[in-house]
C-alpha cells in the first residue's frame, strides 16, 4: 500500500479508538456525577468490557502493520515534520499498549470502578480501612504492570511517562530538591511577617449565590455554553468525550466560598486547553494534549496568575459584594485580595496557597515511590502521610478525610500523576512572563473583565500546538528557553513581598 493508504487506515483506526475512549470517559464522568451508589458493579463490568474492546483495537496486528509500514517509509521519526511526528506518537502508544496483557486491562478497569466507590465511602465516613484493601490491590496491579516495561531505571519512570512523556523520576526529584529550599525561604519570610486575615471568606455563603458567581466566571473565561457544562462532584475534575464536549465539575462549601471559585477557574483552564486543540488534527495522535504538566500549566495559570491577581479582583470583587452584601459589605478590596492570597499551611491540596502547594505534591510523590519500593505498606499510609505533613507543612490532619483520603487519583490507579501538578506550576509562570511581555496591557484588560486576549494568546501559542512538540521543545519555541523554575520563584517572591511586606 502507498503511504497515503496506510495513513488513511492509521487515522481511521485511531479515530475509532478515540471515540471509544470518549464513551469510556462518559461512563467515568457519570459514575462520579450522577450514577446511583448501587450501580458500581454493573458499571465496573461495562467499563471492563469496553476497556477490553479498546485494547483489542489499539493492539491489533493489522494496526501494528500499518504503523510499522509507515515507520519503514519515514526515514527519520524525529524530523520536524507533521507526518513523522504523528507516526512517532502513534507508534509509541501502540508499543506501550501491546506490552500490557488484555486481562490486566480488564482487571484494572473493574478495580478502578470498585476502588472509586470504596474511596468515596471511606472519605465520607472517615474510614480508611474501607479503602485500604483497594489501594493495596491497585498498588499490586501497578507493580505487575510495570514488570512488562523492563528494563527501566525505576518503576516510577514507567508510570510518570504516561503523564509526562520522557521525564524520569530523578529529573523530577532534582527539580523538587532545588525548589524546596527556595520555597521554604519564602515561607520563612512570610511567617515572620504580619499575618493576613481571611475570616471574611469563612462566613456562610449561600450555595445559590456561589453557583451564579461560578457560572459567570466560566463565561468570562471564554467557556462556550454549547461545548461545555459545569456540574458538581466530590472531587473537582475535567473530562472530555469529544472535541466539542468537555465537562468540568466543582464542589461547593457554604463556609469556604473561595474553594469552589478557585476549583471552577482551575477546571475551566483545563477545559479551555482541551477546547483549543487544533481542529485540523482532531482524533489523530497530533490532536492530543502533549502532557499533564502542560495541561496543568493552563489550569494553574487561570487559577493563580489570573484569578488570584489584583487586577482580576478589581473587576470581580464588586460583583461578589453585590451577590453577598451582608458578608462582604464592610470588607475592602485590599483586604479581600490579601485574603485570597493568604499563606497558611493547610490540610487540603486543592485549597492550598501558592507558596505551600508544591510541598503537597512532593509529599505525595515521596509516598508513591515508598509504596512502589516496598518501603511503605498501604496499611501504614495514614501515619506516613501525617508524619510528612508535620515535617513539610507543620500541620497534622485530624482525620484521614482531611489527610490521605482527600484525593481521588489513587482510586483510579493514577500513580505517577501528582508531579505534573508542580511541573504545571513552574510552566505556568514561564508562559505568564512571556504572555505579559507580548501583551503589556494584560493588567488593564483584567481590570475591565476582558480575558479574550489572554485566551487568544494561549490558544495560538500553547493549545493549537496540541501534541506536535514535546513539552520542552514547546517551551523553547514559545518562551526561548526550556523549563526554568526561576520564573515561578520570582513570581512568588514578587507577589508575596507586596502582600506580606518583607
CATH number for 490? 1.10.1370.30
Q: Cα(363)–Cα(419) distance, rounded to whole angstroms?
A: 10
Q: Cα(47)–Cα(26) distance, rounded to whole angstroms?
A: 10
Q: How confident is the model at residue 188 (pLDDT cuts 50, 70, 90)?
A: very high
Percent of the chain at pLDDT above 90? Answer: 98
- From the candidates 240, 267, 296, 323, give the one annotated as an active-site residue: 267
For residues 173 and 147, membership in a common domain is answered with: no
Q: Which three cell numbers stand for residue 489?
A: 520563584
Find out whether 118 and 134 touch, Cβ atoms under 8 Å: yes
**How many structural domains is the chain composed of?**
2
Percent of the chain at pLDDT above 70? Answer: 100
For residues 90 and 173, membership in a common domain is answered with: no
pLDDT at 263 over 90: yes
Find out whether 153 and 170 touch, Cβ atoms under 8 Å: yes
For residues 145 and 173, membership in a common domain is answered with: no
**232 in active site:** no
Q: What are phi and psi of 397, to 5 degrees?
A: -60, 130
What's this model's pTM, rounded to 2 decimal places? 0.94
Which range marks the domain in which residue 182 is found?
169-500
Overall average pLDDT of the 315-344 stretch: 97
Find out whether 269 and 302 touch, Cβ atoms under 8 Å: yes
pLDDT at 267 over 90: yes
141 within domain boundaries: yes
pLDDT of residue 1: 80
pLDDT of residue 23: 97
For residues 138 and 188, membership in a common domain is answered with: no
**End position of a domain, from candidates 88, 123, 151:** 151
Strand (E) or helix (H) holding 242: strand 238-242
**End position of a domain, from candidates 122, 151, 180:** 151
232 within domain boundaries: yes
For residues 272 and 383, membership in a common domain is answered with: yes
Give the CA count within 13 Å in the CB-facing half-sphere of 282.
12
85 within domain boundaries: yes
329 within domain boundaries: yes
Q: How far is CA 257 from CA 199, 201, 309, 351, in A?
A: 11, 6, 17, 11
Cα 149 from chain centroid (whole Å): 25
pLDDT of residue 445: 97
**Each residue's pLDDT tens digit, 380-430:** 999 999 999 999 999 999 999 999 999 999 999 999 999 999 999 999 999
Find out whether 94 and 59 touch, Cβ atoms under 8 Å: yes
Average pLDDT, the chain: 96
16 within domain boundaries: yes
109 within domain boundaries: yes
307 within domain boundaries: yes
Overall average pLDDT of the 353-366 stretch: 96
Collect all residues with Cβ–Cβ distance below 8 Å to 240 and sequence separation of at least 6: 22, 25, 246, 247, 271, 274
**End position of a domain, from candidates 151, 178, 206:** 151
For residues 357 and 397, membership in a common domain is answered with: yes
For residues 174 and 147, membership in a common domain is answered with: no
Q: How confident is the model at residue 254 (pLDDT cuts 50, 70, 90)?
A: very high
pLDDT at 75 over 90: no
DSSP letter string over 118-153? Answer: HHHHHHHHT-HHHHHHHHHHHHHHHHHHHGGG-S-S
For residues 179 and 228, membership in a common domain is answered with: yes
With residues binned 3-state (H G I as helix, E B as strand, rest as coil), the percentages for the chain, rounded to 5, are 70, 5, 25
362 within domain boundaries: yes
Amino acid at each position: 500500500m502507498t503511504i497515503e493508504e496506510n495513513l488513511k487506515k492509521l487515522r481511521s483506526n485511531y479515530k475509532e479508538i478515540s471515540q471509544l475512549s470518549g464513551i469510556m470517559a462518559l461512563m467515568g464522568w457519570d459514575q462520579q456525577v450522577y450514577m446511583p451508589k448501587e450501580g458500581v458493579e454493573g458499571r465496573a463490568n461495562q467499563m471492563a468490557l469496553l476497556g477490553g474492546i479498546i485494547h483489542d483495537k489499539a493492539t491489533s496486528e493489522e494496526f501494528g502493520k500499518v504503523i510499522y509500514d509507515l515507520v519503514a517509509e519515514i526515514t527519520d521519526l524525529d524530523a520536524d515534520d507533521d507526518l513523522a511526528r504523528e507516526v512517532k506518537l502513534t507508534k509509541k502508544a501502540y508499543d506501550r499498549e501491546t506490552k500490557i496483557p488484555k486481562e490486566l486491562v480488564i482487571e484494572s478497569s473493574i478495580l478502578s470502578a470498585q476502588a472509586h466507590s470504596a474511596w468515596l465511602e471511606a472519605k465520607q465516613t472517615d474510614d480508611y480501612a474501607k479503602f485500604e484493601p483497594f489501594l493495596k490491590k491497585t498498588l499490586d496491579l501497578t507493580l505487575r504492570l510495570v514488570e512488562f516495561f523492563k528494563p527501566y531505571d525505576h518503576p516510577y519512570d514507567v508510570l510518570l511517562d504516561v503523564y509526562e512523556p520522557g521525564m524520569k523520576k530523578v529529573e523530577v526529584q532534582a527539580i523538587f530538591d532545588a525548589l524546596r529550599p527556595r520555597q521554604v525561604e519564602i515561607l520563612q519570610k512570610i511567617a515572620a511577617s504580619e499575618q493576613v486575615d481571611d475570616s471574611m471568606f469563612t462566613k456562610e455563603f449561600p450555595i445559590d449565590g456561589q453557583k451564579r458567581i461560578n457560572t459567570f466566571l466560566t463565561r468570562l473565561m471564554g467557556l462556550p455554553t454549547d461545548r461545555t457544562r459545569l456540574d458538581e462532584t466530590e472531587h473537582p475534575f475535567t473530562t472530555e468525550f469529544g472535541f466539542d464536549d468537555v465537562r468540568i465539575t466543582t464542589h461547593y462549601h457554604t463556609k469556604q466560598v473561595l474553594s469552589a471559585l478557585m476549583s471552577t477557574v482551575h477546571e475551566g483552564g483545563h477545559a479551555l486547553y482541551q477546547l483549543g486543540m487544533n481542529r485540523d488534527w482532531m482524533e489523530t495522535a497530533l490532536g492530543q494534549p502533549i502532557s499533564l504538566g502542560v495541561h496543568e500549566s493552563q489550569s494553574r495559570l487561570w487559577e493563580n496568575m489570573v484569578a488570584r491577581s489584583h487586577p482580576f479582583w478589581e473587576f470581580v470583587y464588586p460583583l461578589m459584594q453585590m451577590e453577598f452584601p451582608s458578608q462582604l459589605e464592610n470588607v475592602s478590596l485590599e483586604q479581600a485580595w490579601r485574603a485570597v492570597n493568604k499563606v497558611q499551611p493547610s490540610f487540603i491540596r486543592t485549597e492550598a496557597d501558592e507558596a505551600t502547594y508544591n510541598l503537597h505534591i512532593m509529599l505525595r510523590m515521596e509516598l508513591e515511590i515508598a509504596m512502589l519500593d516496598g518501603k511503605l505498606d498501604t496499611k501504614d499510609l495514614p501515619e506516613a502521610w501525617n508524619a510528612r505533613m508535620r515535617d513539610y507543612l507543620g500541620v497534622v490532619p485530624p482525620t484521614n478525610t482531611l489527610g490521605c483520603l482527600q484525593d481521588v487519583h489513587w482510586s483510579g490507579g493514577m500513580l505517577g500523576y501528582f508531579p505534573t501538578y508542580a511541573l504545571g506550576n513552574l510552566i505556568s509562570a514561564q508562559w505568564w512572563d512571556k504572555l505579559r511581555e507580548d501583551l503589556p496591557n494584560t493588567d488593564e484588560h483584567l481590570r475591565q473583565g476582558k480575558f479574550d486576549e489572554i485566551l487568544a494568546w494561549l490558544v495560538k501559542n500553547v493549545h493549537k500546538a496540541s501534541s506536535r512538540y514535546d513539552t520542552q521543545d514547546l517551551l523553547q519555541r514559545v518562551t526561548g528557553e526550556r523549563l526554568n523554575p526561576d520564573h515561578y520563584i520570582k513570581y512568588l517572591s514578587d507577589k508575596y513581598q507586596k502582600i506580606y511586606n518583607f
